[in-house]
Amino acid sequence: MYNIPKGTKDVLPNQSYKWQYIEQTAREVARVFNLKEIRTPVFEYTELFRRGVGETTDVVGKEMYTFEDKGGRSLTLKPEGTAGAVRLFVENGLSSTPMPVKTFYITPAFRYERPQSGRLREFHQFGIEVFGSESAETDAEVILAASAFLKKLGITQTRLEINSIGCKACRAEYNRALKEYFQPHLNEMCETCRTRFGANPLRMLDCKEEECKKIAAGAPEITDYLCSDCAAHFKRVKDILDGQGVEYTVNPRIVRGLDYYSRTVFEFVSDAIGAQGTVCGGGRYDGLVKELGGPETPAIGFGAGIERLMLLMDNTGVECPAEAKPAIYIAGMDEKSRSAAFKIATELRQMGVSAEIDHMNRSVKAQLKYADKLGAKFVAVIGESELLSGEVNIKNMSLGTTVTVKTADICKYLTEEI
């Protein structure tokens, strides 16, 4: 017997409708926000993520699935969606198309980390990436798209936390302040933080080690070091959210886990899924397109983990719409009537009506039990008398009523009733 790899999860037939509901909701939100779908490969050249995501991140340093192909090229299973989306934008010359370029994707992603509730090694994301606009209105629109997605799913038990981590200019001054603060505490901090101290002290604020978190709690706040442009941009974002009645908290400790972020960053957080409470997060990455070989292009986006959304929905009692049931089950008593049932079912399916028949040579009684288990809305039984009369009794299973319909009119009757 073969077992599923650790950190992965099967989607069973009685679960797939939940996935479809979340994905359909994502596509509907993308439609109303005029976002166009993109699809990128499951694996890319490793350097894309090293350069795009950042050498100092846990993702690149500890979590990537990297391998050499038969040509000796280093490839990596995508650990997140943004770097590949930026590569697509640059490689396909989308910078020469009308701006903004508004995109979305639904994709698997892979990170080697300790599996736990809501966190797998293979997971799936709904993501939005908007290229070409540096306006605060775009920041607010992306946040509103994330909020609309959660609300449309019925998720209300989240809080929006926002921050600005500034641009390169104001962040340089902040990094100096962080180094001054952390310097006396380095011996008390983990090895990862000591490494980040020299390369990117901002990332020390994102450490999950308890002792490091305690020390970081007293660190200077980035909002005190924003340059005038970044401060004005952040104020404008907040003003727009206020004007739309969006509740939020400014959390100066949000830096996000990837190096490409700049200015606005945000997270939708819940306490209902344990310590790893972020269900959707994103922000601006104005320098990444140029970093990956494209022209200077501002951009912003977010990613929402589908497995985490499902966990949150389960934990807070949010239900998906019921799984689709067959419109009709057509039971046949003998070989001739089974052939007639097959023909009717085929005609119904061609008209877009969901129909089911027996494939296991069950008795009529067993077929009716099976139809009940399937949740069929209508049931019809065809036997010798029905074949001779050219009529069939159709039972409405929820109402308990029965009508007699000409066999040739079954399709018409059902399309009118459903």
* pLDDT attached to residue 208: 78
Instruction: Reduce the DSSP state of residue 275 to 3 states and report it.
Output: coil
CATH superfamily of domain region 328-417:
Anticodon-binding domain (3.40.50.800)
Place of tokens 């009685």: 14
* pLDDT attached to residue 244: 95
Strands 328-332 and 378-382: parallel
Helix (H) or strand (E) holding 392: strand 391-396
- Tell me the pLDDT of the chain (418 aa) as tens digits: 899 999 999 999 999 999 999 999 999 999 999 999 999 999 999 999 999 888 767 788 889 999 999 999 999 999 999 999 999 999 999 999 999 999 999 999 999 988 777 789 999 999 999 999 999 999 999 999 999 999 999 998 899 999 999 998 888 888 899 899 999 998 889 988 888 888 788 888 878 788 898 998 889 988 899 999 999 999 999 999 999 999 999 998 887 766 788 999 999 999 888 766 899 999 999 999 999 999 999 999 999 999 999 999 999 999 999 889 999 999 999 999 999 999 999 999 998 999 999 999 999 999 999 999 999 999 999 999 999 999 999 999 999 999 999 988 888 888 888 7
Residues 6 or more apart in contact with residue 382 via CB below 8 angstroms? 330, 331, 332, 333, 337, 340, 341, 344, 392, 407
* pLDDT attached to residue 416: 84
Please give the Cα distance from 131 to 169 (Å, whole number). Answer: 22
Please give the Cα distance from 371 to 20 (Å, whole number). Answer: 24
- Where are the domains positioned within the chain? 16-167+227-315, 328-417
Please give the Cα distance from 219 to 207 (Å, whole number). Answer: 13
Q: Helix 136-153 and helix 228-243: axis angle, to 10°?
A: 40
CATH superfamily of domain region 16-167+227-315:
Bira Bifunctional Protein; Domain 2 (3.30.930.10)
Residues 6 or more apart in contact with residue 324 via CB below 8 angstroms? 17, 354
